Structure 1
Amino acid sequence: MAARSLTKFVFSKNSANLVKNACSAQNVRLFSAQANYEFIKVSKAGAKNNVGVITLNRPKALNALCNGLMTELSNALVEFEGDGSVGAIVITGSEKAFAAGADIKEMQNNTFAKNVSANFLEHWNKVARTYKPVIAAVNGYALGGGCELAMMCDIIYAGENAKFGQPEILIGTIPGAGGTQRLPRYVGKSKAMEIVLTGNQVNAQEAEKMGLAAKVFPADKLVDEAVKLGEKISANSQLIVKLAKESVNAAFETTLAQGLLFEKRLFHATFATKDRQEGMTAFVEKRPPNFTNE
């Protein structure tokens, strides 16, 4: 599918050639459903094959986020949610671009009425609604919808060459998939205003300093580091990880008093699980826990 993205406003036309797929680590095995996808690649990674990896794969469009890609991404997330062997999910792109933006050509002729009637971009929220932890491994450009996609994830790891931005203002519109809402929660009002109102990009080091990215790694090490993080998360009880994720997310949706009560009730609820009992017993007995997700 031919496409133009926000990237034509922010970097050279000669940047479409991508380097070797960053998700080609030796410990990655192809997921059984990969052949069903046109715009993404789906794999499993880690020593125990317990980390799902979704690689955005529209090289000629620098992974511009078309409707087909986002639909496939949602479907892949649903599959990984239903896979009991997977405890965490990594979303990545290429070393040149995580995702250079939304597909401008696809939306160029949309109208207000069409957007409202079709609830345009609504299905993009599946990433944020995924109950398993999702890690964004961002190399290269994460602009517009690409930056919004990264922010929908629970943790952002950035390659040293990563560039984040919301350049929608440069083409006469505003972010539509959370850019004006999630970015201030990451970096504060003043910095978010600067990024959104100017279209300026920030590099990986600045993104880490602002709190947008958790850590920065060499580009060729990024996906491996994200998978290692996924493995560490997957070693815990999936049931308890889900509760912990819900509790952290509640901090952005409630008052402090409401959030503290929600956290305390979830903490109390863990005492009804076998994994809480196993975890504490293993600690007392000085042995590794054997979680069963119950």
Structure 2
Amino acid sequence: MSGGAGYETLLVEERDDRVVVTLNRPRARNAINAAMVEELHAVCAGLERRPRLLLLTGAEGVFAAGADIQELLERGREEALAGINSRLFDRVARLPMPTVAAVDGYALGGGAELAYACDVRLAGESAVFGNPEPGLGILAAAGACWRLAELAGVSVAKQVLLGGRRLDAAEALRLGLVAEVVPDGELLGRAHRLLDRMARSAPGALRLTKLVLDARGPHPLADDLAQAILFESEEKRDRMRAFLDKGASS
């Protein structure tokens, strides 16, 4: 596996029937920043031109522990309306062929929303899903407010989004958020076996089945409008500065 193609935040392995993408900012716990968003768009463009299965995972035992808080602090109304993360995750969700997220360690905030955008999630035993955005003065506007409700039910979504509940691997399995829980060291092997099984199906049938399953409603417009308001709030700035200051002093 190698970065290749000029990628700085991803490791990308291309095979005949699949592309394996590893989020690779381990010093930032694979936080999703603008560079990673741009590079994931490039991956999506390639999969739109040449449809293949996609496997997403994270480097060094973490899927993605959120979006980059320093970048979020600087974003305002216009960036929220642009839907920087939501447009990417929607593009991932609309890829023509099935997508699988192999999640070990933290999948928080934007990391959780990226996993929610995939068709199937497998979890290592260390996996933890959560959306702590309200604690930073914003909302989970890149899909969690509707995808999580669809995946695990409105009650669970409210517990996570309003109550700050985090779901460990066992809870995620019980709630149907993930398809399977395996030891962390076996996660990628199990994910590839799932992709092997998918690859045995007719590609055209997979594409059309996914199109029919994924018919959607008005999102993400409502998410972006609400985020635009929150991005301008002083509370958001105060909370994010406090988060960054705490990290600098620890």
Alignment partner of 2:166 out of 201, 216, 226: 201
The answer as to 2:146 corresponding to 1:176 is no
Residue 188 of structure 2 corresponds to 223
Of the two structures, which has the highest relative contact order with CA contacts closer than 8 Å and spacing of 6 or more?
2
How much is the aligned-residue C-alpha RMSD, in angstroms?
Answer: 1.9
Shift of 1:147: 0.6
For 1:231 and 1:115, how far apart are their aligned partners in 2?
Answer: 38
1:9 match: none
| Contact persistence 2:86–2:141 (CA under 8 A) | no
Matches within 5 A, 1:75-86: 75-83=42-50, 86=52
1:58 has 2:25 as partner: yes
Sequence identity (%) = 36
**Normalization by structure 2: what TM-score?**
0.81
Deviations 1:129-161 (A, max 9, x none): 211111000010000101100010000001010
Aligned residues: 217
C-alpha distance in 1, partners of 2:59/2:126?
11
Q: Name the counterpart of 2:247.
A: none
Residues 71 and 113 of structure 1: is their aligned pair in 2 closer, same or farther, counting only changes over 3 Å? Answer: closer
Match of 2:85 in 1: 121
2:22 is the counterpart of 1:43: no
Structure 1 residue 114: deviation in Å? 4.4
Q: Note the residue ranges of structure 2 that are not aligned, 5 or more in a row.
A: 219-250
Aligned mates of 2:44, 2:108 — CA distance in 1 = 22
Describe the SS at the equivalent of 1:97: coil
Length-normalised TM-score, structure 1: 0.69
**Structure with more of its chain in helix, by fraction:** 2
1:76 alignment partner, SS class: helix
1:74 corresponds, among 41, 57, 70, to: 41
Distance in 1, Cα, partners of 2:85 & 2:19 = 24
Q: Are positions 1:141 and 2:106 aligned together? A: yes
Q: Which has the larger radius of gyration?
A: 1
